[in-house]
Amino acid sequence: MLQRIQTIYLLISAGISGGLIFVLHLWTTIDKTEFYAKEELLYFALFLGSAILSLIAIFMFKNRKLQFVLGRLNIILNFILLGLFVYRSLNLSGETDVSEKGIGMLLPIFSIVFLVLANKAIKKDEELVKSVDRLR
């Protein structure tokens, strides 16, 4: 059913991954231009992939195991995105390209938090259904 708490968590995660990337910048370069995720194809594709996985998982409410697996895949995708951000920010020496990190680099962390909460709620629903089946 769509009125579960995991739907809210997955919708928030999709909003973070699909909507906030256009509002919050990832970093500011030396010449004070803000760099958004939409400006590089890899970051844009990973963020949109995460948003699409969240939206697909919302509508898989009848198949909770698949919904749980999609949530885990989405968490892995966000960890890859976070790893790319950490690599990018630590690999550059001095002030070559990135001058100031933006709040957009934390978006995968927020998305991971909501995906973990959604997976906990999905697991709780699955255990509830199994306990009811045992009583029959």
| In the chain, where the domains are located | 5-135
Average pLDDT taken over every residue of the chain? 87
Cross-sheet strand order for the sheet of 98-101: 34-35, 27-29, 98-101
pLDDT at residue number 121: 93
Length of the chain: 136
Q: Give 21-45 pLDDT, tens digit per residue.
A: 888 888 777 777 888 888 889 999 9
Q: With beta carbons less than 8 A apart as the criterion, state whether 123 and 71 touch.
A: no
- In this structure, are residues 26 and 35 in contact, taking their beta carbons and an 8 Å threshold? yes
Spatial separation of the C-alpha atoms in residues 87 and 79, rounded to whole Å? 12
Assign residue 63 a region (left: φ > 0; alpha: ψ between -120 and 50; beta: otherwise).
beta
Model confidence, pTM: 0.88
4, pLDDT greater than 80: yes
Cα gap 45→18, rounded to integer Å: 10
